[in-house]
């Protein structure tokens, strides 16, 4: 699915890459070195894809969509760099993180460099609304990280988890789909629908991603199995087990969580109370809500791909 979309918008994605490469062509050698390392360890470019597809769904024919898509990818990359510093993460996608390889100071400064260039690139798209949306979503992502830090010694509720997911992940997806429609001069209702599509898609994506950490193979997940449990990250399958467990099991689960985190025992409780099934059911519900936002849009290849992406996000865990 991702490969099919990449082929459909290949020229646009090449231009996105060119924008990012030009930003990393600094006269400072360390910027070039670290920037190239980050680029070679990149992901699927899903966020730029969403922005470009959204602009195509509304018939956009200009060139600013690739600048907007590049700025959104830069914001995403910068956020990952900051997250790795906060989490003291040694690996990302199986390779040493920037903070592990060059130190926290370099990781933070490179992230800030990417943020500032993302805002500058967004300004070149002409519409002040574009920059405003990107600034707003960046603030929400910071709020999500701070809320997660605030709650790190507490047992999270479903509502806590979804608040973190919305702010740290889903609002950026929402910005991608909304900004594409803005460039395509969609009306307010259509832009709201695309924004809601991205939000619900983003929630489904993150729930599935978190669940894959528990059930997916290392090659699919891109990190060592059960990393989230070992790092103390509470995701929806675990939260459901905390909430649903009988008193004795809940006491054992909490004790295990607070004292060494025996992954086998924790997974035993998650399986007993069907935490995986519960989380994937929630992801399917959000993915369905995302697809519902597309109902009134004019049929097109781009809109059909949005439907397929909603299915893809769920099928990753099967």
3-state secondary structure of 95: strand
- For residue 222, pLDDT beyond 70: no
Residue with tokens 């988890």: 161
Q: In 137-178, at which residue ranges do the beta strands (DSSP E only) sit?
A: none
Higher pLDDT, residue 59 or 219: 59
- What's the mean per-residue pLDDT of the chain? 93
Contact assessment for residue 170 and residue 202, using Cβ atoms and an 8 Å cutoff = yes
Bridge-partner residues for 180, per DSSP? none
3-state secondary structure of 92: strand
Confidence of residue 217 (pLDDT cuts 50, 70, 90): low
Bridge-partner residues for 95, per DSSP? 92
Confidence of residue 223 (pLDDT cuts 50, 70, 90): low
CA 48 to CA 174: how far, in whole Å? 12
* DSSP conformation class of 167: I
Bridge-partner residues for 92, per DSSP? 95
Residue with tokens 């800030």: 112
CA 43 to CA 15: how far, in whole Å? 17
Which CATH number does the domain housing residue 144 bear? 1.10.600.10
Nearest Cα residue to 266 out of 287, 290, 250: 250
Residue with tokens 């025996």: 262
- For residue 218, pLDDT beyond 70: no
CA 273 to CA 249: how far, in whole Å? 10
Nearest Cα residue to 241 out of 276, 282, 206: 276
CB proximity list for 208: less than 8 A, separation 6 or greater: 280, 283, 313, 314, 316, 317
- For residue 219, pLDDT beyond 90: no
Q: What is the mean pLDDT of residues 212-230?
A: 70
- For residue 102, pLDDT beyond 80: yes
- Residue 221, pLDDT score: 45
- For residue 142, pLDDT beyond 50: yes
- Residue 317, pLDDT score: 61
CA 163 to CA 147: how far, in whole Å? 9
Nearest Cα residue to 26 out of 136, 113, 90, 155: 113
Contact assessment for residue 77 and residue 30, using Cβ atoms and an 8 Å cutoff = no
Nearest Cα residue to 240 out of 217, 264, 214: 214
List C-alpha distances in Å: 215 to 193, 245, 271.
32, 20, 11
Q: At what angle do helices 171-183 and 128-150 cross, to 10 degrees?
A: 170
β-strand pairing of 91-92 with 95-96: antiparallel
3-state secondary structure of 96: strand
Residue range(s) defining the domain that contains residue 278: 2-315
- For residue 128, pLDDT beyond 60: yes
Residue with tokens 């059930």: 215
**pLDDT (tens digit per residue) in 280-302:** 999 999 999 999 999 999 999 99
3-state secondary structure of 91: strand
Domain count within the chain:
1
- Residue 42, pLDDT score: 76
Nearest Cα residue to 137 out of 169, 163, 104: 169
- Residue 216, pLDDT score: 63
**pLDDT (tens digit per residue) in 159-196:** 999 999 999 999 999 999 999 999 999 999 999 999 99
Q: What is the mean pLDDT of residues 118-122?
A: 92
- Residue 45, pLDDT score: 92
Confidence of residue 61 (pLDDT cuts 50, 70, 90): very high
- Residue 220, pLDDT score: 47
- For residue 107, pLDDT beyond 80: yes
């Amino acid at each position: 699915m991702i490969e099919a979309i990449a082929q459909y918008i290949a020229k646009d994605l090449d231009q996105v890459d060119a924008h990012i490469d030009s930003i990393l062509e600094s006269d400072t050698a360390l910027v070039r070195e670290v920037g190239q390392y980050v680029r070679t360890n990149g992901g699927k470019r899903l966020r730029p894809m969403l922005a470009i597809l959204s602009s195509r769904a509304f018939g956009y024919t200009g060139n600013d969509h690739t600048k907007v898509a590049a700025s959104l990818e830069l914001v995403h990359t910068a956020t990952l760099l900051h997250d790795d510093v906060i989490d003291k993460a040694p690996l990302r996608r199986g390779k040493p993180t920037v903070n592990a390889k060059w130190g926290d100071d370099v990781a933070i400064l490179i992230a800030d460099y990417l943020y500032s260039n993302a805002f500058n690139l967004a300004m070149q798209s002409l519409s002040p609304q574009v920059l405003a949306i990107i600034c707003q979503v960046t603030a929400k992502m910071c709020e999500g990280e701070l809320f997660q830090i605030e709650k790190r010694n507490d047992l999270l509720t479903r509502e806590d988890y979804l608040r973190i997911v919305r702010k740290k992940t889903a609002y950026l997806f929402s910005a991608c789909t909304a900004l594409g429609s803005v460039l395509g001069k969609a009306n307010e209702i259509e832009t709201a629908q695309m924004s809601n599509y991205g939000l619900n898609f983003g929630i489904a994506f993150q729930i599935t991603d978190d669940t894959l950490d528990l059930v997916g193979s290392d090659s699919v997940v891109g990190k060592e199995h059960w990393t989230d449990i070992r790092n103390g990250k509470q995701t929806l399958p675990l939260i459901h087990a905390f909430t649903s467990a009988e008193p004795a099991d809940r006491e054992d689960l909490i004790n295990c969580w607070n004292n060494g985190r025996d992954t086998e025992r924790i997974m035993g409780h998650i399986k007993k109370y069907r935490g995986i099934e519960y989380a994937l059911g929630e992801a399917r519900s959000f993915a369905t809500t995302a697809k519902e936002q597309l109902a009134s849009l004019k049929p097109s290849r781009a809109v059909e791909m949005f439907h397929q992406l909603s299915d893809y996000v769920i099928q990753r865990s099967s």
